[in-house]
Chain A
Amino acid sequence: VRVIVRVCACDCVRVIVCVPSLCEDLLSSVDQPLKIARDKVVGKDYLLCDYNRDGDSYRCSTEYRDLYFEGGVSSVYLWDLDHGFAGVILIKKAGDGSKKIKGCWDSIHVVEVQVRAGAPLPVQTGINNVNCFYLPNLGNMDMENKIRSTLNEIYFGKTKDIVNGLRSVQMLADKSKQEALKNDLMQVLSQRSKQQS
């Protein structure tokens, strides 16, 4: 995974060097690994992505803690729309490098909240809690759970199956004998159960 992440960032730059006109399209449609920058004023880390890129600089924002990640860095950037607001929620968690395994989880959630005319507005209590009102809906990032399960069961499982289809630890002759024996057994068993019934 680390190899692919590293190659991806370089590949994007290489394509842009060849075809500069694709620059904006590429950067906005290809998800790069999230980069971490430091806000020296507040003394906190924040994440960079296309949404808070302004020319070549980035704007910093507040963090939300997330019980799912037990650490990591998160950043949220919100901007006004005509009838509501939109935002991006970024989370980056790197493995601690123990047990000789390296890994990194980046997630980019893009949300759009539309406020319909006539909808009841949250009561202002003198604190700027408009965004908090929508938090239960935004925070329920079910998609991420689904993706994580899919990654674990389907993607990793499938690549393992492909590897075991390229080569067999068990000798192929033995494997086919085993298959034949299994089929014979199943035939005998099903015949026997037919006779008994």
Chain B
Amino acid sequence: SADFPSQATGDVRIAANFVTHAPPGEFNEVFNDVRLLLNNDNLLREGAAHAFAQYNMDQFTPVKLDGSEESVLITEHGDLGQGRFFDPRKRVSFRFDHLRKEASDPQPYEGETALRSWRDACDEALSAYVKEHYPTGVCTVYGKTVDGQQTIIACIEGHQFQPKNFWNGRCRSEWKFTISQSSAQVVGVLKIQVHYYEDGNVQLVSHKEVEESIVVTNETQTAKEFVKIIENAENDYQTAISENYQTMSDTTFKALRRQLPVTRTKIDWNKILSYKIGKEMQNA
């Protein structure tokens, strides 16, 4: 397919598309399969590099800088271009290898100093919340001017990868609000994806958008309110998902295929058969 440029472009686009849709924790598997199908490593590396980066940013991929106990999330908000990202808590920028998922070459990075106190307050409050509710959670909080508005952006990620047990799962949430005015809207997006594939193949893919108003006063108070809104919304969402399972089991699933016929007994095929033959003989 390298002989036909337009064909090659199309194939690489398809390959890239497969990769960006890999379930959490399965990027390598999808990448290796796609590599076999495309059979052109150079083309794949060049044509799909943007897809690898996009995948890691979409997934809020956590990474540890050398010698650090804490992780930072790879997101679009921390993207500095040229393969570099920044950690707003540690105030460093670093190079990120999207295939190896490794960070290197740390350099000091100050970020927006005007927003620092707000960012720090929100990060402290949010980190405590994440510790209380996420067994393996990571959060990264940015203070950035977006479209002329001073904005706090909070990203939370938690995952469990257990390929030996044939399952992987990840939840992500992103919360934003502006601090320019005393009254603001907190906007949140919550996402969950779970893949279970032992002798079968089931995925749960869910997302929810949330909007709540917040009063902006001082750093500490506002951070507290911000995290309270997040905690309530995420608790509600998780509870709703559990309840949905019950509803799905009781109604929808049953509507698709009953466990027993309405008569509450299994079909007696011999009875149907003798009735059918009898009817046909009558009509003959």
Contacts and interface: CB of A to CB of B under 8 A. Distances in A.
A54 to B, nearest CB: 28
B196 interface: yes
Interface in B217-256: 234-235, 238-239, 241-242, 245, 247-249, 251-253, 255-256
B14 to A, nearest CB: 5
Contacts of B160: 162, 165-166
A158 B196 contact: yes
B277 A129 contact: yes
Interface string B39-52: 00000000000000
Contacts of A188: none
A127 B284 contact: yes
A150 B245 CA distance: 14
B213 interface: no
A68 B131 CA distance: 48
Given A67-B263, A136-B273, A156 B238 contact: no
Contact of B18 (A11, A93, A152): A11
A69 B257 CA distance: 5
Contacts of A135: 269, 272-273
A169 B238 contact: yes
Contacts of A126: 284
B132 A172 contact: yes
A172 B131 contact: yes
Chain B interface category by residue count? 35 or more
B37 A159 contact: no
Interface string A91-131: 00111100101011101000000000000000001110100
Interface in A133-179: 135-136, 139-140, 144-145, 148-152, 155-160, 162-169, 171-173
Nearest to A94: B256
A157 B158 CA distance: 20
Contact of B281 (A125, A165, A167, A173): A125
A67 B257 CA distance: 10
B132 A171 contact: yes
Interface stretch (A12-20, A37-45, A76-84): A12-20
B146 interface: no
25 contacts: A4-B203, A18-B14, A19-B37, A95-B252, A95-B256, A99-B251, A103-B256, A105-B257, A125-B277, A126-B284, A127-B284, A129-B280, A135-B269, A139-B272, A148-B253, A152-B249, A155-B200, A156-B249, A160-B245, A162-B167, A163-B169, A163-B171, A165-B160, A167-B171, A169-B238
Interface of B: 1, 10-11, 14-15, 17-18, 21, 37-38, 131-137, 158-160, 167, 169-171, 192, 194, 196, 200, 202-205, 234-235, 238-239, 241-242, 245, 247-249, 251-253, 255-263, 267, 269-270, 272-273, 276-277, 280-281, 284
